[in-house]
Every structure is written in C-alpha cells, then in structure tokens.
Amino acid sequence: MRRAVCPGSFDPVTNGHLDIFGRASALFDEVVVAVGVNKSKAKSSSRLFSSDERLDMIADAVSPWPNVRVQGFTGLVTDFCREIDAQAIVKGLRGSGDYDYELQMAQMNAHLTDVETVFLMTDPSMSFVSSSLVKEVASFGGDVSGLVPEAVFERLTARLAERQAGA
Ligand code: PNS
C-alpha cells in the first residue's frame, strides 16, 4: 500500500489544496490529509477555524475521493508519517517563494527519516490562492467564491461576520 500525507494548517482549505489532494489520490493508494493541530493556546487562537472545524470542512470536501481521508496530528510530520506508515509527503508548489520554503522543510524531513517529499506544481488557475489571502480578501468584502468549496465559503462568510460583529 503506497500511502501519502498532505500536511498543512488548512485555515481554511482552498480549491488549490483540493486540486493537490485529488491529483495525489490518482498517484497513491491512500492519501491522508494531515491537519496540524496546535496544542498551544496562543497559536490555535490565531486561527480563524478550530481544528475540529478544519477537519470537518476537509472531510466534507474530500468525500468524492474514496481513497482520501483526513486526520489531525501534533508534533513532527515525519513522526505522523511513521505512525500511519506513509512513504511520502505530497505538497503543492505555487512558485519560487513556496519552493524556497518547502525545499528546506523537505530536506529537514529527509534528514529525520526516509520519507520522500513529492511536489506537485499547482494548477496555474490556482497559483495565486492561499488560505491567508482568501481570509484577507474576504474580510474586506472581496469575492472569494470559486476559490474555496461552497460549504467553506458559507462558513467563512459567517465566521467573518461573527468576528466583525464582535469587534
Ligand atoms: O499550511 P502550513 O501552515 O504551511 O502547514 C505547515 C505544516 C503543518 C505542514 C508544517 O508546519 C509542519 O509540518 N508542522 C509539523 C511540525 C514539523 O514537522 N516541523 C518540521 C518541518 S521540517
């Protein structure tokens, strides 16, 4: 069984992430989307969505692929790969900025373990999409529908409205 892990914080998951999960699902027997669950209160409160909400939104979005599932993890991604017997980490690369950051992580992960990192080039139609930009644009009323799954769009709009009402 060839198993791959797609790790990230996914706050929230975007259509760019989903493109990578779907393409990875065609290359591996099983793909586990691994959501970094931060135990530190300071870090988890900087998220727009709780880890349960992020897991829930991903589970819903990956339901069309029978060989893709989602799981939370704490600690090192390489330890998580060992725990679930995954041979590869799959990540999307949008451009040179991602490459510089991801190369260092891939090399550190290779130093720690024999897990391989596989990079998939982002679909050009998604190369400008990031969770942070989606949140920023949406918070100023910009239209991000089409960049995230519809259910995520609804939850994002509702969460930002709650935050703005409470501010
Ligand atoms: O979506 P993000 O924020 O880029 O995801 C980052 C994530 C969760 C993939 C990365 O921070 C990670 O792998 N964290 C787990 C801790 C770890 O293994 N750190 C060493 C990486 S070389």
Q: What is the dihedral of CA 27, 93, 14, 28, to 10 degrees?
A: 10
**Measured distance CA(161)–CA(167) in Å, rounded:** 10
pLDDT computed for residue 41 by the predictor: 58
73-90 pLDDT, tens digit each: 999 999 999 999 999 999
If you ran DSSP here, which 8-state letter would residue 130 be given? -
Which residues approach ligand 1 with their CB closer than 6 A?
7-9, 36, 76-77, 105, 108-109
Which pLDDT value is given to residue 127?
96
In this predicted structure, what is the pLDDT of residue 38?
76
Domains located in the chain, CATH noted: 3-127 (3.40.50.620)
Q: What is the DSSP string of 83-120?
A: HTT--EEEEEE-SHHHHHHHHHHHHHHHHH-SPEEEEE
Residues of the chain with pLDDT under 70: 40-44, 167
pTM of the model: 0.95
Query: Going by DSSP bridges, is the β-strand pair 88-93/68-73 parallel, antiparallel, or unpaired?
Result: unpaired
Q: Identify the residue whose C-alpha is closest to ligand 1 atom 3.
A: 9
Q: Distance from the CA of 101 to the center of ligand 1, in angstroms? A: 11
What is the model's pLDDT at position 100?
A: 95
- Cβ-Cβ contacts under 8 Å for 102 (sequence gap 6 or more): 91, 93, 117, 119
- The residue whose two tokens read 């393409």 is 23
CA of 5 to the centre of ligand 1 (A): 12
Instruction: Name all contacts of 135-141 with Cβ < 8 Å and 24+ positions apart.
Output: 135/11, 135/12, 135/48, 135/160, 139/164
Best mutation site among 5, 9, 54, 70 for ligand 1, i.e. most ligand atoms within 8 A of its Cβ? 9
pLDDT given at position 26: 98
pLDDT of residue 42: 58
pLDDT at 166: 82
How many residues does the structure list for the chain?
167
- Which mutation among 20, 77, 117, 132 tests ligand 1's pocket best, with the greatest number of atoms within 8 A of CB? 77
Catalytically active residues are 17, 41, 94, 131
pLDDT (0 to 100) of residue 44: 67
Q: For residue 109, give the ligand 1 atom closest to its CA.
A: 22
